[in-house]
Amino acid sequence: MTNHGPLEAKVDRVFAEWDKPDSPGAALSVIRDGEIIYKRGYGMANLEYDIPIAPTTIFDIASVSKQFAGFAIATLLHEGKLALDDDIRMHLPDVPDFGTKITIRHLVHHTSGLRDWVQALVIAGGEMDDVISFKHILKMVRRQKELNFEPGTAFLYSNTGYNLLAEIVEKITGDSFREWTDANIFKPLAMTSTHFHNDHEMIVKNRAYSYLSVKDNGFKNAVNNLTALGSSSLYSTVEDLAKWIMNFDDARIGGQAVIEQMHQRGVLNNGKQISYAFGLDIGEYRALKMVGHSGSWRGFRSHLLCFPDQKFGIVILCNLDTFNPLNLAKKIADIYLADVLAPEAPGPDTQPSERNETEPIAPEQLSEFEGDYYTEELDTTYTIGVRGDRLVAQHRRHDDISLTCADDHFVGDAWFFPEIHFTRDDTGQVTGFRLTGNRVKNLRFKKKN
């Protein structure tokens, strides 16, 4: 362990509210000039057996995993085994032909238009604590009927794209994604507590369990049965991830060309550059260049943050859903980089927005929308009926969703069912609806006769 001076005491205060024997918490590592200068655990890895979090505790780091898929693709690119403008159907012929080319580049930069499986799964009736396997996710891709948008025209974060990148690595190399990453990343960097989790029943020593916050300062287990290779499901520690951060500077694996490739930001068809690169989000914090990524799944929250010009990095892994590790990482940066950070900019002066209230539709007018609506893409049905002065969407696995009229569409009160636009035929009869919002656009439902 490194020395515990006044800066480290300030760091400990950032985590003080969770550093107790009856709370989930976090693990932290701080990296400077190629070494860990501080590491600590706060709170508990397992509340049932009173096991504290340590720097050796293993967490599911969720979407921080994406940069490892990005590294794999950048490596295969520089080995001449793929091209970023390859049509993904060259490597994955069972992905549907949407009538427009999706490239590996589109997957890397979240510009493919592929629907995100997380929201689609819940629309289909899935629950977050279900067993959600890599195979299941790939099956969902094969059933997709339309894209959210024309590839390259927009940025919309899609876990699905990174799952397909993992599958492309398997197809090109002949190794499973877990085998390839073990041999080419984790073993060479001596990341001995790190693996892509490809079996939800596998025993993992020293793993943290994840928790959801409930009222009155209580917690409940957030069961995690996910194996979403490429986009998520990397199990690691703050110590191992420090070694990964150091590789951005010394390029022990991959070499400088691959590391530079990983920092290449995407460009839309209209020439606009986006902040997203190969599993890395590139921006600024208080006038310093900042590279990082966040992760969120079940009760796990994670952030890996680098300030490349200062050779400074922070890894925070948490096991409670109310954590905001990016905010915590910025507080850590404020402590260690105080002498080089620009003054904090004042926050925007936000005014409350005016809401346009829409006249409610009379119940007798709402009745034309009643019926069963089926989507072939997700093989699921919603029943829409009138309750009082509003519509309600019902599904066999979800609570009822209240639909409020807003101009030409209806807004749902569930995150996965944000808004629906009803469709009509030439005679004005309702024929279906399109569900749109968040990471799923224009999902088509057909009204059953």
Domains located in the chain, CATH noted: 18-336 (3.40.710.10), 364-447 (2.40.128.50)
Nearest to 211 by CA among 332, 51, 331, 397: 51
Neighbours of 387 (CB within 10 A): 13
Q: HSE-up of 18 (CA within 13 Å, CB side)? A: 31
The owner of tokens 């891709």 is: 141
Cα 73 to Cα 77, 167, 227, 260, 267, distances in angstroms: 6, 11, 20, 13, 17
Phi, psi dihedrals of residue 338, rounded to the nearest 5°: -55, -35
Which two tokens mark 103?
């490239």
Neighbours of 13 (CB within 10 A): 12
- Classify the phi-psi angles of 321: left when phi > 0, otherwise alpha if psi is within -120 to 50, otherwise beta: alpha
Nearest to 225 by CA among 343, 129, 363: 129
Which two tokens mark 33?
């000039």
Mean pLDDT by 10 residues, the chain (449 residues): 82 97 97 98 98 98 98 98 98 97 98 97 95 96 97 98 98 98 98 97 97 92 97 98 98 97 98 98 96 97 98 98 96 97 75 51 83 96 93 96 90 96 94 96 94
What pLDDT does 357 receive? Answer: 47
427 three-state secondary structure: coil
According to DSSP, residue 136 is labeled: H
Nearest to 109 by CA among 139, 79, 66, 147: 66
Q: Cα(75)–Cα(79) distance, rounded to whole angstroms?
A: 6
Q: Cα(339)–Cα(365) distance, rounded to whole angstroms?
A: 65
**What is the full DSSP assignment across 1-35?**
-----HHHHHHHHHTGGG-STTSB-EEEEEEETTE
Nearest to 94 by CA among 140, 159, 151: 140
- Yes or no: say if 319 and 238 are a contact pair by the CB < 8 Å rule: no
Which two tokens mark 397?
């696995």
What pLDDT does 355 receive? Answer: 44
Q: What is the value of pTM for the model shown?
A: 0.93
According to DSSP, residue 226 is labeled: B
What pLDDT does 1 receive? Answer: 47
Q: Cα(245)–Cα(247) distance, rounded to whole angstroms?
A: 5
CB burial class (10 A; 0-12, 13-18, 19+) of residue 40?
buried
Which two tokens mark 208?
């943290």
